[in-house]
Amino acid sequence: MRHFRHVLRLGLGAVGAAGAALPAAAAGPQYWLDPAGPVAAMQGQLFLLTLYIMLGIFVTVSGILVYTLVRFRERAKAGARAGQAGTAVQRETAAAAEEELPPQIEGNHKLEVVWTLIPFLLLLIIAIPTVRLSFALAADPGEDALEIRVVGHQWWWEFEYTQLGIVTGNEIRIPVGRPVRLIIQTDDVIHKFWVPKLAGKMDAIPGRTNQMWLQADEPGVYYGQCAELCGTHHANMRMRVVALPPAEFDAWAANWGRGPVVESEAQLAAVERGRQVFETRACFACHTIEGTAAQGTAGPNLTDIGARTTIAAGILDNTPENLARWISDPQAIKPGSLMPRVGLTPDELQDVVAFLTSLR
Ligand code: HEC
Ligand SMILES: [Cu+2]
């Protein structure tokens, strides 16, 4: 009985811990059971269906187990207790009681059919929606879909809008209510694209192209990250999906690559100097900025860097201070990152930051 209580306490403890952890996870921006689009919603429903069936089985089986343990437990017998100090007759009765066994049952066709049929039916209930959903998710989202090629790099994401000629990094803008076809590839090792509130994970595998689709039903910023261990900065390979009303999306797309936005003559001069720094120092060899001499591809395309909310694959807010920190010493922020430290004078640094922040 002491063991039983111990097990019961452990079990209740585990359920309590899970119950406390769930709402805590729900508060986070990557809680996938709080979907913001049809793909994540369908996946969540299938998960919950399976979970509820399993919970039903768990409760039924454990219930029968606990009932059996309690109901048929060995009880101290009056005779056995008496036996220790009793007469010879009492001792004999006690010994006989010890040997007394419950009826031994072997084979029961009815029961066997029932407990084969029930799992069969339950598996069928899980299998039908699973197969249907698998086909729905593998299907092409159609001609109207926006297509984005996603390329994983150590440790940042490249996004190419194949129909629009736009390339960006670590942050994708998509129009609300329109399906997005994602062509998923990698430039080096295996990565995994994952924006929990919009859709489940998809591998980016060398030499292979995977496809998936997603859609955001409400405007907002959805957090994602690489979900496959891909080296030192796997945990710092984040991304954001910004879902915009269609008109705002179109305006952003039309404006992309239009060059610097400046408010004053003085700012224009700084931006001009910054562009020259970018085009003549090592930056141009690794980064592309539309409309400049910089056409490198080893690092993220920076054409709209001023419009992004974060830099360095989601680990720093995009502010002029953080840009300067990053550019002056990327290795201090992301040690081992594939952007080297480029020696710039303080003036050059200031100008290049002015140039980059104007690209919005
Ligand atoms: C050898 C190639 C290389 C050179 C040279 C280089 N970068 Fe980078 N840069 C990268 C890579 C790779 C990343 C992505 C790093 C990461 O997030 O892990 C990056 C990231 C950045 C980012 C953040 C972009 C984002 O989307 O988060 C900025 C801004 C940037 N570089 C600016 C510069 C500037 C300015 C220079 C010149 C002073 C420069 N880079 C020189 C390779 C390079
Ligand atoms: Cu990765």
Give me ligand 2 centre to Cα 246, in Å: 30
> Does residue 4 lie in a domain region?
no
How far, in Å, is the centroid of ligand 2 from the Cα of 154? 6
Strands 180-186 and 146-153: parallel
Distance CA 172, CA 252 (A): 11
Instruction: Identify the nearest ligand to the CA of 312 by its number.
Output: 1
The answer on 68 and 167 residing in a single domain is no
Instruction: Give the ligand with the smallest distance to the CA of 330.
Output: 1
Is there a domain that residue 126 lies in? Answer: yes
pLDDT of residue 279: 93
Q: Are both 280 and 348 inside the same structural domain?
A: yes
153 Cα–ligand 2 center, Å: 7
> Does the C-beta of 237 come closer than 6 Å to ligand 1?
no
Locate the ligand 1 atom nearest the alpha carbon of residue 170 and give its number. Answer: 26
Task: Please indicate, yes or no, whether residues 203 and 238 belong to a single structural domain of this protein.
Answer: yes
The answer to the question of residue 285 being in a domain is yes
Do 31 and 121 belong to one domain?
A: yes
How confident is the model over 253-307, as pLDDT tens digits? 998 988 888 888 888 888 999 999 999 999 999 999 998 888 999 999 999 999 8
Pick the residue whose CA is nearest to atom 18 on ligand 1: 155
Q: Ligand 1: does its nearest atom lie under 6 Å from the Cβ of 194?
A: no
134 and 48 within one domain: yes
Structural domains of the chain, count: 3
pLDDT of 72: 86
CATH of the domain at 102: 1.10.287.90
At which of 176, 209, 244 does a domain end?
244
Q: Is the CB of 294 under 6 A from ligand 1?
A: no
Predicted confidence at residue 11, as pLDDT, reads 62
Cis peptide before 155 (omega within 30 of 0): yes
Centroid of ligand 2 to alpha carbon of 233 (angstroms): 8
How remote is the C-alpha of 224 from its chain's centroid? 6
Residue 286 and residue 270 share a domain: yes
Residue 36 and residue 131 in one domain: yes
Single residue among 110, 138, 166 that ends a domain in this structure: 138
Residue 303 forms part of a structural domain: yes
Q: Output the DSSP codes for 172-205.
A: EEEETTS-EEEEEEESSS-EEEEETTTEEEEEE-
pLDDT at 93: 66
Please say which residue of 76, 110, 138 terminates a domain: 138
Whether 133 and 152 map to the same domain: the answer is no
Ligand 1, atom 14, residue with closest C-alpha: 299
Q: Is residue 163 part of a domain?
A: yes
What burial class does residue 6 get, using C-beta atoms within 10 Å of its C-beta: 0-12 exposed, 13-18 middle, 19+ buried? exposed
Query: Distance between CA atoms of 148 and 105, rounded to whole angstroms?
Result: 64
Residue 129 lies in a domain: yes
CATH of residue 324 = 2.60.40.420
Per run of 10 residues, the mean pLDDT along the chain (length 360 residues) is 59 60 67 90 94 95 95 71 60 65 85 93 95 93 94 95 94 96 96 95 96 95 95 93 96 89 86 92 93 90 92 91 93 91 91 92
In a domain, 257, yes or no: no
Is residue 152 included in any domain, yes or no? yes
Range of the domain at 240: 146-244
**Ion ligand 2 nearby residues (CB, 5 A):** 191, 226, 230, 237
C-alpha of residue 359 to centroid of ligand 1, in Å: 15
